[in-house]
Amino acid sequence: MKKFICVLLPIILVILVTIYFVFSNSKEITLKKLNYNSEAISKINDFDIYDIVVKEKYSKTLEMSLLSDEFNSKYVNDYIKINYVDSINFIEYVNKLLDIGYSYIEINMIHDKLENDSIKYILENNYIDNLEQYLSLVYFKSENLVRYIDYSKKNNSDVVDTVTYVNMDLDYDFYTNIKEVEKPDDLLVTVNKYNQLPSDYEPSNLVLIDSSCSTGNNYIRSEAKIPFETLCNDIKKEGLFVKAMSTYRSYKTQNSIYNGYVNRNGVEEADTYSARPGHSEHQTGLAIDVMNNTTSYTNFGSTKEYKWMQENAHKYGFILSYPSDKVSITGYVSEPWHYRYVGVELATYLHENNLTLDEYMARQV
């Protein structure tokens, strides 16, 4: 019996050694098929993470982490799912982001959406709540990240409003950070307290509104003429009355109007109801102030005509530029008489979603 055992033990040992080498070789073959190099495979075996790695596709981030001095075994599952970026100290950055508390999904979005300065900001700060929501918005702008965070903290606003308002420059005081409009002839040109038309701009296609729909010689851009005259004639069928009382104004005219208000009420008050020269929608030739035939235009908001306009103006391509619930956004008190032509499709969308043109444009890529 002892002889039998003595003969059997070496055989068993040989079998076990053979199985070990076959199994080890099988693991190496499997990892090579996944595209890992020999050095990474050696590290995978050293760290005993084969069972985790073999379940996933090849990950260059994992491989590069294994070959670096920055590898952290507790982040293996994250490394596998993080898209590799060929940049200096990438694994070090990844580890810092994981240490802060960001998920692999957020890290992929960070490197996909953000520029280096914004990534540096994230690395130097605590975990940013809702960052994934910010980065998911197609109109998120990497260069505005710090402004978004600051604005959200100050105003306790949600992600959508924060990105929208900062894109509109509402984190700056009115009439600061002013930019000159590059395409003043664009139908959707944004003119507000941050965007200024050139002083010499005048639309090239101004036409006279028919006298039956106007209180005098009021000019408007040609694309808005027929829609407004159609609106004017259709409302008459309801026994109501709407006419244009102020349309296109030149920079010079607006300057005179604004300075008159300033002389009477001071700059601070004048800015709440009158645009500074270059900042008026009237200079675009797309804005119309309306009135009915029984009261001053300043009382238009209390008329049946105003109620009709609220329900129907968008069907003709017009929007109310300065609603009462958007004062903090527009910077102007409510103007029930001031309408802007943007086209039927967009006007309908803005009406249905309770958006101003500025809000809509801030959400465009």
**Following DSSP, what letter does each residue of 8-50 receive, concatenated?**
HHHHHHHHHHHHHHHHHHHHHHHHHHTT--HHHHHHHHHTT-H
Secondary-structure breakdown of the chain: helix, strand, coil percentages, each rounded to the nearest 5: 55, 5, 35
Name the residues annotated as catalytic. 335
For residue 298, the model assigns a pLDDT of: 93
3-state secondary structure of 167: helix
Q: To 10 degrees, the CA torsion angle through 331, 333, 335, 336?
A: 120
Mean pLDDT of 89-107: 96
Buried b / exposed e along 90-112 (16+ C-beta atoms within 10 A): bbebbbebbebebebebbbbbbe
d(CA 365, CA 356): 17
Q: How confident is the model at residue 23 (pLDDT cuts 50, 70, 90)?
A: very low
Pairing mode, strands 206-208 and 179-180: unpaired
Residue at 258: amino acid letter: Y
In contact, 286 and 343? CB cutoff 8 Å: no
For residue 8, the model assigns a pLDDT of: 56
Least confident of 5-14, 49-58, 172-181, 284-293: 5-14
pTM of the predicted protein model: 0.87
Percent of the chain with pLDDT strictly greater than 70 = 93
Q: How confident is the model at residue 17 (pLDDT cuts 50, 70, 90)?
A: very low
Does the structure show a pLDDT above 50 at 21?
A: no
d(CA 16, CA 239): 100
Q: Which of 365, 326, 335 is nearest to 161 (CA)?
A: 326
d(CA 343, CA 312): 13
Q: How confident is the model at residue 116 (pLDDT cuts 50, 70, 90)?
A: confident
d(CA 292, CA 303): 8
According to DSSP, residue 354 is labeled T
In contact, 194 and 177? CB cutoff 8 Å: yes
Does the structure show a pLDDT above 90 at 24?
A: no
Q: How confident is the model at residue 87 (pLDDT cuts 50, 70, 90)?
A: confident
Does the structure show a pLDDT above 50 at 203?
A: yes
Structure tokens at 281: 């929608």
Give the bridge partners for 180, in sequence order: 196
Does the structure show a pLDDT above 50 at 197?
A: yes
For residue 5, the model assigns a pLDDT of: 56
Percent of the chain with pLDDT strictly greater than 90 = 90
Structure tokens at 142: 């990497």
How is the chain split into domains, by residue range? 179-362
d(CA 76, CA 6): 45
Mean pLDDT of 103-108: 96
Q: Which of 239, 240, 245, 248 is nearest to 214 (CA)?
A: 245
Give the bridge partners for 244, in sequence order: 214, 290
Structure tokens at 103: 């998920």
Mean pLDDT of 200-211: 97
The topology under which CATH files domain 179-362 is: Muramoyl-pentapeptide Carboxypeptidase; domain 2 (3.30.1380)
For residue 13, the model assigns a pLDDT of: 52
d(CA 69, CA 64): 10
Q: Is the dihedral of CA 221, 297, 243, 339 positive or negative?
A: positive
